[in-house]
A and B are shown apart, each in its own frame.
Chain A
Amino acid sequence: MRGPGGDRRALAVGVLRAGTLALPLLLAGCLAPMPRPLVGLNRRLEAAGPAAAPSLAGDWLALIVSRDGRDRIELVDLNRQQPVPLPGLERPDAQPLSVAVDARGERLAVVRQLEGRTELVLYRRNLMALQPVVLQPPGVPRRVALRADGRELAVEVSREGQGQVDLIDVP
């Protein structure tokens, strides 16, 4: 039979043991590396207006920003922390739905609604040129991803109500 002193000793040993077990977990929790928000850049993005649909590659971030009641595509140079102009891409009557950028910031793939239909286009920044991408068999593009070298598209396409994924080589 254990007396009160023994109970206290057992309790102390139990607490010590629990502490010994918990301490590394606690320390690991405290010391676990945490992702660091890019505060300056995030502040600039916040100031640009409500934003969605990010695509990040290399030193480039493409996203859809709402401003003055209109959604538009922005391409941000992360080194300069500034958007770059995209001449020939924007149309005031187009509604962008999805955007993807390659790692050189040269190619942008865009799904957009225009004149009542949804289309997939590829924009080449160095040429300032927009090229439609034809889906075969025909379907409605919903979302697009671009390989980092800009040579392949992965497109979510709706065909007769079913979601499918097309892989399309880009010359």
Chain B
Amino acid sequence: MGWGSVDRLDPALSGNGRVLATVVRRDMGDTVLLQEQPSGAILPLRQLRRQQPHRSPSLSWNGRYLALIVQQGPQRQVVIEDRATGRLHRLPLPGELVPERLSLAPDGRRIAIALEGGGRSRVQLFDLSVLLEPDLPAGLPVTGPGEAGP
């Protein structure tokens, strides 16, 4: 794989375990790396170049969505790359809060973000159902509001 001597940090697994995200320490800044498991084959990311350092990657069930914190000029931003469409969703955050860590629910419906601001750290949850299609395990029906789950 050729990654033996490179620092690898911040691992995240897709819900089905078929995709591994890690942050690789490189000259250009910490960069997220996606790999298929167990082959180790590298999966392309289209939208995240020149937004290093990357931190706190988190994957949905099938690895369709990759949420992470990127650097945009002087600001940290939370973004979600939809690997199926190539689209990059940017999540606006309230006030002057700075994202530190995040965790995307495997179905992609919610995200928890650890934020720093005003001398205090907090965790806030956001509903993403208007933004993302669910990424569910194969064979599960998609249920909408008012419908009973399986």
Count how many chain B residues have C-beta atoms less than 8 Å from C-beta atoms of the other chain: 43
Report the separation of the CA atoms of residues A58 and B149 in the bound assembly, to the nearest whole angstrom.
Answer: 13
A60 and B85 alpha carbons, distance in the complex (Å): 28
Dominant SS at the A interface?
strand
Bound-complex Cα distance A146 to B17 (A): 9
B28 beta carbon closer than 8 Å to chain A: no
Asked whether A143 lies within 8 Å of B9 as measured between CB atoms, the reply is yes
Task: Report chain B residues within 8 Å CB of A41.
Answer: 125
Contact of A45 among B12, B103, B111, B124 (CB under 8 A): B124
* B13, A34: Cβ atoms closer than 8 Å: no
Instruction: Report, as a range, how many residues of chain A touch the other chain.
Output: 35 or more
- Contact in complex: A53, B105 (CB < 8 Å): no
Which residues from A are CB-within-8-Å of B102? Answer: 54
Binary per-residue interface labels of chain B (23-42) against chain A in the complex, 1 for a CB within 8 Å, 0 otherwise: 00100000000000100000
Q: How far is the CB of A47 from chain B (nearest CB, A)?
A: 10
Question: Measured between C-beta atoms, what is the minimum distance from A122 to chain B in Å?
Answer: 15
Instruction: Name B residues whose Cβ lies closer than 8 Å to a Cβ of A.
Output: 5, 7-17, 20, 22, 25, 37, 61, 91-92, 94, 100-106, 110-114, 120-128, 130-131
